Each structure stands twice: as structure tokens, then as C-alpha cells.
Structure 1
Amino acid sequence: MTPADLSLTVQHAVRRAVDDGALRVDVPPRVKVERARPGGTGEYASSVALSLARPAGRTPLDVAGVLKERLQGVPGILAVDITGPGFLNFTLRPDAGGDLVRAIRDEGAAYGHGTALAGTTVRFAEVTESRGQVVTGVVLRLLRSQGADASFGGGERMHVRPAAYLPDVLGVDAARWALLRAAPSDRALDGPPLLLQHERNSLFRVRYAHARVQRLLVNGLQLGFTPSYAYGIPSETSYESDLLASELLGVLGDHPLVLLAAARHRAPDRVARHLEATADALLAFQHTVLPLGDEKPSAAHRSRLALAEAAGTVLAGGLALLGISAPDQI
């Protein structure tokens, strides 16, 4: 994990804390990470908790504790320690990106599923309104993906703003995205724009990104190489390319936490928004994957292809939880 990787990882932790309601601050556009100073621990440190404390109305130690909770167990980070008035200190693991990519390959569509809610029983009241049925059905899937015993037959009710489910008009995928992409209490998305193959169409971007990964895999095979994540991505490209890879790794690493938060908060829209972020990071990264011109395939290309493949797996798994297909071609 490079300093750029770590900076993005800490920024993602701040964003998760804001999304979860644990912190009420503006997410900084950049988090400064530097070598740990004498008296610190690990290789790197960040003073982000000190800078967020005043706007959050909390002490730096409180903010550091919130962020530490969201950084522990993140691929690539061996330990997070709080020193002094609220500095975050990081001890890193080698080959963090490889661990993440291999975990996604091993777990497939089940990557991000876990047992955090094991022992939790949830029983929803029967629903007759069409949007409520779709949303509650996905929430049940999310809860089960985290180990909960969830089903109909109880008293808990989802608070869902009514809207028509129109698979005969829009097709199943667009009809479901229209109801799920917006927060349950918000107005559903307009259906017709979701049928347009345009980058402004969030559903198209997500499904196109998955299809693009499948094309990259085919093209790689035609060029004589397959996905294989080396010890990190060899730095044969620009700093900008390395940042694109770091951004994609960060988003993929967030996936399990997003699924857990979506289950806890009964919020399928969090999964949809995360799939958009994954698609956008993949589409920005895709141009670095294949050799250009007379360039020969290298370890870097195999690693980048493995990272793209992992993104495709996450996109397919997330769409499946929403009941939406992930086509290999668009």
C-alpha cells in the first residue's frame, strides 16, 4: 500500500463515518498522510482527526476513535494506533492489493457477505404496495447476506414512498433500479431515462462497466495473457495511473462495509450508489489495463487485468443483490 493508497483509504473511512451518521463534517477532498514522526508508531501517520474535530464538534481523540473503528481490518492495514492528541498511526501489510483481489476472486459474488448480523432476527410485516415489496425484498437479501435470520411474518415495516413497479414498460432491470436507486423515503427515479444508453444514465454506467470488464478479459486472452495479481501493481505507468488503481482498490475494499451498512439501515440505495462509484472507478482505470501499440504484455498488465476482473465480480454481485442482471455485452 502506497501513501496515495493510504490517503484514499482514510478519506473513504471519513466518508463512511459521515454516511453512517457518526460524523457530521464535509469529507475533505484530500487526506494528508506522511511518514510517522519520532514518538509515533508504524510507517505512516495522519492528523485528519485534528482537522475534523472542530467542525464535528468533537474532540480529536473522539474523531480518531471513530475513524480507527472504520480502518481496522481494511486490507493493507495491519494496525491502527492513536497517539498524542489524536494522530492516527498506521502499520501496513505488504501486498495488500493482492490480498484483496485474491479474496474477491476466491469468494466471487459472495464477496462482502459476512456474519456480522448472525444471531439477529428480523420479521417484516407483509407488504402489498409494489415499491414496498421490491425494496423490502432486497433488504431481506441484504440482511441474510450479513448472517441475519430475516423473513416476512412479523411487525417491522419499511417506510417506503409508494411508486409503481413497471417491468412490462421498462423491463425488469430499469424498473427495479428506478425504485431502488433513490432512498426508500424519496421519490423513485423517472423510468424512461433509464432506458437510454448514455453516461448520464447511472444504470447504464454500472452495467456497461461490467460488460467492459468482460471485454477486457477477452482482449487480454487474445493478446496472450490472463489475470494474475503480482506483488502490488508494478509501477510502469504514471503517478496518475497508480492513483486510478488505488482509487479502484479503495472502492472494492469498501464493498463489505457498504453491504453491512445497507443491511443495518435498510437502505438498498447505498448499494446502488456504491455500484456507481465502482463503475466510475473502473471506467477511469480501464484505459491502463491493456498494452498499447507495440507494448508487450507485462506483470503490470496481468495485475491490472486481475484488478479489473475483481471490479467486474463486485459489480455483478451487487447487481444480483438488487435483482438486476449484469450482461456480458451491451
Structure 2
Amino acid sequence: MLSAVRASVEAGELDVAVPEHVTVERSKNRDHGDYATNVALQLAKRAGKPPREVAAVLAARLTAVDGVASVDVAGPGFLNVTLDAASAGALARTIVEGGAAYGRGDSLQGLKINLEFVSANPTGPIHIGGVRWAAVGDSLGRILRAAGADVSTEYYINDAGVQIDKFGASLMASANGRPVPEDGYVGEYINDIAAEIVAAEPDVLTKPEDEQKKVFTAVGLRLMVAEIQRSMEEFGAHFDVWFSEKSLHASGAVEKAIERLRAQGHVYDDGGAIWLRTTDFGDDKDRVLIKSDGETTYFASDAAYYLDKRDRGNEVCVYMLGADHHGYVGRLKAIVACAGDDPEHNIEVLIGQFVKMLRGGEEVRMSKRAGNIITIDDVVEWIGVDAARYSLARSSTDSTLTLDIDLLTSAARENPVYYVQYAHARTCSIMKNAAAAGVDKGSADQFKPELLSHELESILLGVLGEFPQVVAKSAEWREPHHVARYLEQLAGAYHRFNDSNDNRVLPIGDAETTDLNRARLWLVEATRTTIANGLELLGVSAPERL
């Protein structure tokens, strides 16, 4: 399309600057051709011509392009482009030859992104909200990399502060057979960790209580972090960096951050406390960095942590926070502004809504191990890693989510992960049967794409062609659910193709293998490749059989 615009400009047919990008989308209605663009409407004002006149100029150029069957001017000036069967079918060869690289692009090339997700307090197992972020965050990291970004995934370990003291006190109380403190942590996992510490250090209970607490806190924290790392690894969520909040204090990074912000002119002293003037940048109130009693606030750690991320060369810092953290958005953006950065570019804060699970139509609320929360291990036990990752990533994080355990463990069309994985398994089955029957798709030179002219073949090719754009859009919008929804659309198109009596892929019995059989094998292999690539972006397996 850009070539057509450029040729029209060079020929003097249009007096406009050639745009850097032109939007070309797959037509939703097959009667409107294969692709549609509104470029004529975009250029009309600058060209000083009616949109339909600009569209007619471009249509004449496009019609002469090899592989274009027709170009129609529709409505106020839209261009609907139809490819001939050979050009459309050639996509199957492109996908097969591209293999695992198909769908990847460079739309975010050169952008260095720090992606922080989950970051739950290391005082208990990962709960269902954190599981959602594990699925979405890890998928987003994969998608951003597929779009060319340099991504570092990170887990922030909140291992400093009051909650850690409460955690240690709860472990110590359990080990000594006492009730945990009123504001402490409860659940079988507290008893399990306390018993593990006592088993490893049998003399711990003979120590004075202040020394006991230090042991239970330090060892308990180490064990809990190890537990979180195990559960993340088993869930397939990878973190390049496990960052300790305590390290910010130990290294002096918090004090240095305060001085840097003071040098920027945004730190002031009042009432014996040290404040950051965040109201200058839209926050509802200024924030305390150091309390009047000398205690450092979490906000000071947040400021130091952001500066540390930027010092590591990250251009964009993405924070994925839970539904109860809406209030953090303004203050985090204020930190960015106070640091002299652009809060509309250097930081992005994504908020995820709540998740609930149903079994037998009733909400499941309790965990066997944690008591009052559903943990990541519960989710994996109930529905498995694939179903959990797919179902948690297939909806916008802006909306609350309900997972039906009965549905997600069924081999039903209504189960989205099964529906997509089954499509992949069907493609593998055909390729396996073809190999067993000695039917080969042949070389790329033998492939005759013009034979893929059936309506269901054209529809399937059209959906296959959308994958790179879906990946790029998902990366740009930071929304992995577009990939999942696309896979369901692709699976549907393949199931319809495969179930049609008009589109038999393999020859019957001893019938001779035709060029059409081979062409359809290319199409099946292209579908298998694309589904596998999409599932990989979501961290979901692509089984060869179900």
C-alpha cells in the first residue's frame, strides 16, 4: 500500500508527503475483499481532493500489482483489496518456512522494558490474584520480546518492614505452641514452616525470644521465598531478576534516592519528617519519605526502586498491581515526574481485577493449606497449569474474572484451552497420518498455492495472516488476551475447514496423491505452526494428542 502511495506521489497524481505507516486490516466480511484500508480518507485533505478521487488513484496503482485480483472503492473512500488465490495461498509457505519465527516482529525494537509482576509479600503462598498476574505478566513478557523489545522480568521481594516482623513472630508463636499474634499470619503453612525451622535448628527454642525471632524471621523468609520461586517455576513464570527491598536499604540506595530527589527541588523538611512534594505532579497529597521518628517509609523504597530500575538502563518501567492498589498509580507517576522523567512514557501501571473460582456452581473460597485464600498450588491442582495460564490470560485485566473448575477440566468445545489445543492436536494427527501413508507435502517449489481456493481455505488463510498484527497489537497495548482470543478464532476456522467434506486433506485409500492434497498439507502445517507459536506466547503447551 505504501508503494502505491509513493508511486502516485512520484507520478504527480497526488501532492502529499508519503506517510510512514498505513493501516491495512483484514476485512471482517469476505464480501468486502481480503484487506481494507482508509488511507485515501487520511490523505484526501492534504491532497486537496475528495477521498473517493484519491481512492480511485490508488486503486489504479494497486490493481497493477502482481497478485492483486481486484480493488474496489467503497463508501466514502475505503479501499477493499482482493488477492488472487495464488497470492493468498502463498502465505502457507511463508508460515511453514518461518516456523517458530512466524508472528514475531520489530515494532518495539530498541525499547528496553522492565516488567515487574506478582511481587506478593513473602509472608505466605501466592494467592489467586498473584496467579493471575503470573499468567498475564509472563505472557506479556513473551509477547513484548516477540515484538522486538528488550525485556527484563522482575519480582520485587518485600523483605523489609512491619509485615516481615509479623511473619517471624507468627512462626515463633507456632513453634512454641502459642496462638499467633492477633495481627499475625495463620494457616497450615505457618505451622509447616515453623516445624521445618525447628527441625533444621533444634536448639532454636532454647534461645531468648529476641534471638528466636531473628532466626524464625530470617530462615522463614528464606524458606518462603524459595517456596514462591518453586511455585513460579512450576507455573512456567520466569523472572530474570529477584530484587530484594532490603538491599535498597543495605546499599544506601534509599538515602541516595532522597538526595537525588532533593537536588531536583522536590524534597522538603517539615515537622521533623522528610517529604516529597508529589502534589506538584497531580498526587492528592505530599508523601512522607522519612517519618519524624526516623523510620523510612515504603514510599521511600518505592522511589529508590524506580530510580534503580532507570539506572539499570530501563526506558519503560511496567508495574502490574492488584485491584486494591489503584491509589498507587498517582504516587508512582509523581515519583517519575519528581525524578525528571516523563510519567506518560517512562512508567506504566497496569491494574488487575479480582478472580474467583467456581465448582459445581458454587464459589470456592478456602484453601486446604492457607486457610482463607486460594493459592497457586490449589489452582494448579484443580485445573492444571495450561488451563490456569490460558484462562487467566484470555480476558482483559480490567475486568473481574470467574473460572469454572468443572468447565476448565472438561473436554468440551466450550472449554477455550481445550478447543485451541484440540485444533493443534488435529493438525498433528493429520501430519502423522500423512507420514504413515507416505504422503508428503513436497518441496516449496512443488507447492501450488493457487489450488487453495475453497471458501473455507480462504477464510483459514485470512485468519492465519492476522497473527503478526495481533502479536504487535498485544505488545503495544500490553494486553495478552488478544493472542488468546485470536487463537480461538483460528481454532474455529481450522475446525470448520477440517470438518468439511469438501476439504479432505489426505487421499482416500490407494488414491493417488494430488497437488491439492499436498497444498492442503502445507495449509495444515501452517495452521499447526501458528497455533503452536501463539500458545508459546501464552506459556501453554501445544500437545500432539489429547
Q: Does 1:101 align with 2:92?
A: yes
> Which amino acid in structure 2 is aligned with residue 217 of structure 1?
M
Q: 1:174 aligns with which of 387, 390, 411?
A: 387
Query: 1:178 and 1:83 mapped to 2: Cα distance?
Result: 39
**Tell me, which stretches of 5 or more residues in structure 2 are unaligned?**
1-23, 41-49, 121-129, 155-308, 310-316, 318-346, 356-373
| Offset, 1:187 | 2.6
Task: Provide, for residues 146-189 of structure 1, a one-character-per-residue CA deviation record: whole Å limited to 9, x for no partner.
Answer: 11122244343322113364112211001111211111112334
Query: 2:78 and 2:483 mapped to 1: Cα distance?
Result: 31
**1:55 matched residue in structure 2:** none
Task: Provide, for residues 206-258 of structure 1, a one-character-per-residue CA deviation record: whole Å limited to 9, x for no partner.
Answer: 101111111101211233211246222437xxx7xx01100111111100000
- 2:151 is paired with a residue of what secondary structure? strand
**1:123 matched residue in structure 2:** 114
> Which amino acid in structure 1 is aligned with residue 449 of structure 2?
G
- 1:31 is paired with a residue of what secondary structure? helix
**2:289 matched residue in structure 1:** none
Q: 1:207 aligns with which of 396, 421, 430?
A: 421
> Which amino acid in structure 1 is aligned with residue 431 of structure 2?
L
Q: 2:349 aligns with which of 143, 152, 157?
A: 157
The count of residues paired between Structure 1 and Structure 2 equals 275
**1:13 matched residue in structure 2:** 25
Cα pair distance change 1:30/1:106, threshold 3 Å: closer
Contact kept? 2:104, 2:468, Cα under 8 Å: yes
- 1:196 is paired with a residue of what secondary structure? coil
Cα pair distance change 1:248/1:76, threshold 3 Å: farther
Cα pair distance change 1:319/1:87, threshold 3 Å: closer
**Tell me, which stretches of 5 or more residues in structure 1 are unaligned?**
1-11, 16-26, 34-43, 51-58
Task: Provide, for residues 38-67 of structure 1, a one-character-per-residue CA deviation record: whole Å limited to 9, x for no partner.
Answer: xxxxxx9989999xxxxxxxx966xx7xxx
**1:141 matched residue in structure 2:** 142
Q: Does 1:231 align with 2:444?
A: no
Which structure has the larger Rg over C-alpha atoms? Answer: 2
> Which amino acid in structure 2 is aligned with residue 150 of structure 1?
V
Q: Does 1:31 align with 2:45?
A: no
Report the TM-score when normalising by structure 1.
0.72
**1:301 matched residue in structure 2:** 517
> Which amino acid in structure 1 is aligned with residue 351 of structure 2?
H
Query: 2:477 and 2:410 mapped to 1: Cα distance?
Result: 31
Query: 2:92 and 2:396 mapped to 1: Cα distance?
Result: 30
Pick which of 182-191 and 226-235 moved more: 226-235
Structure 1 segments, 4+ long, off by >4 Å, are: 44-50, 75-85, 89-94
Alignment of 1:143-292 (within 5 A): 143-151=144-152, 152=154, 153=309, 154=317, 155-163=347-355, 165=376, 166-192=379-405, 193-228=407-442, 230-234=447-451, 242-287=454-499, 288=503, 289-292=505-508
Query: 2:542 and 2:438 mapped to 1: Cα distance?
Result: 26
Query: 2:35 and 2:508 mapped to 1: Cα distance?
Result: 38
**2:526 matched residue in structure 1:** 310
> Which amino acid in structure 2 is aligned with residue 174 of structure 1?
A
Structure whose residues are more often strand by fraction: 2
Cα pair distance change 1:49/1:208, threshold 3 Å: same
> Which amino acid in structure 2 is aligned with residue 134 of structure 1?
A
> Which amino acid in structure 1 is aligned with residue 77 of structure 2?
G
Contact kept? 2:25, 2:36, Cα under 8 Å: no
Contact kept? 1:161, 1:184, Cα under 8 Å: yes
Pick which of 203-212 and 221-230 moved more: 221-230
Report the TM-score when normalising by structure 2.
0.45
Query: 1:121 and 1:141 mapped to 2: Cα distance?
Result: 14
Query: 1:91 and 1:190 mapped to 2: Cα distance?
Result: 41
> Which amino acid in structure 1 is aligned with residue 143 of structure 2?
L
Task: Provide, for residues 73-120 of structure 1, a one-character-per-residue CA deviation record: whole Å limited to 9, x for no partner.
Answer: xx9659989799615264857832453222211221221101111122
